[in-house]
Amino acid sequence: MKTIHEQGAQGDVLFRRIKRIPEHVTALPRSKAGIVVAHSETGHHHVIPDACVAHYSDSKSALASYLQIDTSADVVHLRPFDTHETLRLSARAWEVRRQREHTPEGWRRVED
């Protein structure tokens, strides 16, 4: 397991440390089961099982969301084979971005 303090990626999801959560975002409901940080096209989601993490959506960007983590939290990739390594995010505010790639047809989201 890698501990991320500044920036790290898990497949098509990029985690970047920020100073604070932007004011224009909306808090998403918490679940005892945890937070789906990024939905996968194949159903193998990137999940933080800890219920103590606050998750925020950004109506201005379909590619970004935010996390406020008071203690460290693990991001798990829910796939039984060829999975991405679990990441431990340190306590702070994080921007979560879906990565993009350029193709001959133009920009598209990276598919995991």
Q: Please give the residue range of the domain that contains residue 94.
A: 2-100
Domain count, the chain: 1
pTM for the model: 0.80
Give a yes or no: residue 107 inside a domain: no
Residue 77 lies in a domain: yes
**Chain Cα centroid distance, residue 98:** 8
Q: Does 101 have pLDDT greater than 60?
A: no
Whether 111 is in a domain gets the answer no
Domain-located, residue 109: no
Please report whether residue 25 resides in a domain.
Answer: yes
Question: For residue 103, is pLDDT > 70?
Answer: no
- The reply to whether 88 falls in a domain is yes
Quick one: which of 34, 38, 43, 26 has its CA closest to 80?
43
- Residue 17: band (very low, low, confident or very high) from pLDDT cuts 50, 70, 90: very high
CA atoms within 13 Å, Cβ hemisphere of 38:
28
In whole angstroms, give the CA distance from residue 107 to residue 100.
7
Is residue 105 assigned to a domain? no
User: 112 in a domain, yes or no?
Assistant: no
**pLDDT per residue over 34-65, tens digit each?**
788 877 666 677 788 877 789 999 887 767 89
